Amino acid sequence: MIGKVLGGRYEILEKIGGGGMALVYKAKCRLLNRYVAVKILRSEFTNDEEFVKKFKRESQAAASLSHPNIVSIYDVGMEDDIYYIVMEYIKGQTLKELIKSKGALGIELATNISLQIASALEHAHANHIVHRDIKSHNIMIKDDYTVKVTDFGIARAVSSTTITNTGNIIGSVHYFSPEQARGGYTDEKSDIYSLGVVMYEMVTGRIPFEGETPISVALKHIQEEPKKPRNINSKIPKSLEDIILKAMEKDVNKRYSSVTEIIADLKQSLIMPNGDFVKKNVTADENTKIMEPIRYTDVKEELDRKIKAEEKTKKSKSNKKITVLAILSGLMLAVLVFAGYMFLNSIFNVKVVKVPNIIGYSEEDARKELEALGLVMDVAEERVFNKDVPEGHVVIQDPKPETQNKITNPVRVIISKGPKKVEVPNIVGKNYDEVDIILESYGLEEGEVTQEYSQFPSGVVIRQSITPGLTVDEGTKIDYVISGGPEKFFMTDFTGTNIEEVKNQLIVLDLILGDVSEEYSDEIPAGSVIRQSPKAGTEVSKKSVVNFVISKGPKEPEKKTYLNVNLPKNLDTMKVTIFKIEGDKSSLIYENTHTPADSPLKIEVNGTGEVLFEVYINNSFHDSTIYRF
């Protein structure tokens, strides 16, 4: 398969994984020049109609989903009996691999990963798609711990007429819900159970049920209770254990009714790790039954019945004695029944009121507000930091506002400790791109950002509004100024300007005089600029270096003279070369072969001013002469 091109564009590069029914390859899309993952149905299943259906179902299910925590599907195809799906290539590792390498994950990391998986499932369930195979092997973790849920290989769209496949057990046995293990009804709550197993595995480092055979593991899911996570890892907060065990309830009616509820409780657990806020769902049989009120007529009928019964069974007694005893018994029964009625009435006829919104109220005002309605306030011992709610005010309440609540049930509240105090970091010298990350890591927010020219590189912070090291409230905004680099302007045209005037202008413009060279010019007066670098109109900044070529004035007309060269007598033949040197310029003016008989040579030369002539014999220096024309 390596090297094969599918669909005329997907070049298979290497195998990167595989599951029970498909192999996964890394490939390159030639059209978009990007890496992709290609899932290919195993060859042994291409003739199996049921497996092909499952494979097609995966593509249809996953392709309809668009979520940052779900692997994107790009393309689906079939070529030469090869069924394939093209999807997003994820660089990272599976959650299973992460747990194997690290063991039990940290609580915050495990909670963060759980929230991302739950968010992906929430989106899928909202689109009537149940994954049915949630396990740590199907969760990809990128290097930045972003989660990607993969392998909707046995997912199936939920409809009103059929929401399960009862013909066979699907999924992976260690993550089965009890209903999957029985091969029965499965829906969104099966995903919730499997998510609970994955969460259990993350915080304990092991799966809840193990066995020698898949059947024995499946039976444990149906019959046995998992060992409590906190008995394995004491660092697990109580609230997180409660969430995991509720998700793993064997009775679907006792589980979370939706992934949305799990998300809410997971977020709450980050605020109240040891809180007791996870509500248990009770089944219909466990609910308290409401009895009909006991009526006075019922008491009278019971009394009459007792009297008649006494008369029939006590024939040996006198009528008067029977009547007295019956009345006494009846009165006692009436008292007991009436007491029972009053007791039951006090239990079942409790006043119900609507819970007000007390979030943001001071503890005292919140208590008064609740007591005015006959409600009791229960304040948690543990307070929490909150940047939006002042210290001493209610930040969380349970039940929520507008909820109907019996006056015998207390309203539980958590009081704010106010904003957390944090230290201001030093961001001067940091690049603009990293400032928001630094501030966020300290619990601070980015304030107003302005820019001004400076000698510092563009984009570097040069000032901040609050001195580093000071302590401020969490969430405080930090204003800062970034450098726009040196101020830019267009280079002046100095052509034709005397070099002394140029020097004065450079000082005004805060520019630096660089190299100055000279050359003759018939157009530009001596001492004035012929050329400059950078050129006029070029955008420059202060402190830029400017180089100039200035005029020496018109070149004098050349004069002619003769150069006499005495040749050595000890050579039969020789090559004679003569160079003319004016300033820093050298030019070859003569080259020929001679014999001693040609000596002395008389060579015509010309020039202006002072000129040096150098003579070389066979490429070795022979003589030099200076002429002043």
The four Cα atoms 102, 108, 112, 115 give a dihedral, to 10 degrees, of 120
Quote the mean pLDDT of the chain. Answer: 83
Confidence class of residue 336 from pLDDT cuts 50, 70 and 90?
low
Is the predicted pLDDT of residue 322 greater than 70, yes or no? Answer: no
Is the predicted pLDDT of residue 39 greater than 80, yes or no? Answer: yes
Helix, strand or coil, per DSSP, at residue 151: coil
pLDDT given at position 361: 95
**Domains identified in the chain and CATH numbers:** 5-88 (3.30.200.20), 92-284 (1.10.510.10), 296-348 (no CATH), 352-415 (3.30.10.20), 421-483 (3.30.10.20), 488-551 (3.30.10.20), 559-628 (2.60.40.3830)
Q: Which amino acid is at 154?
A: I
Does an H or E element contain 624, and which?
strand 620-628
Window from 51-65, 172-186, 454-468 with minimum mean pLDDT: 51-65
pLDDT given at position 345: 47
Window from 148-157, 458-467, 558-567 with minimum mean pLDDT: 148-157
Q: What is the pLDDT of residues 227-277, one digit of tens each?
A: 999 999 999 999 999 999 999 999 999 999 999 999 999 999 998 898 899
Average pLDDT on 487-514 reads 93
Residue 584 among the catalytic residues: no
- Express as a percent the part of the chain with pLDDT over 70: 83
Residues 183 and 168 sit within 8 Å (Cβ to Cβ): yes
DSSP per position, 355-387: PP--TT-BHHHHHHHHHTTT--EEE-S--B--S
Window from 3-12, 54-63, 84-93 with minimum mean pLDDT: 54-63
Confidence class of residue 62 from pLDDT cuts 50, 70 and 90?
low
User: Which residue out of 75, 133, 251, 285 is catalytically annotated?
Assistant: 133
Average pLDDT on 56-76 reads 79
Between β-strands 488-490 and 461-464, what pairing exists: parallel, antiparallel or unpaired? Answer: unpaired
Q: What is the pLDDT of residues 10-19, one digit of tens each?
A: 999 999 887 6
- CB neighbourhood size of 301 (10 A): 11
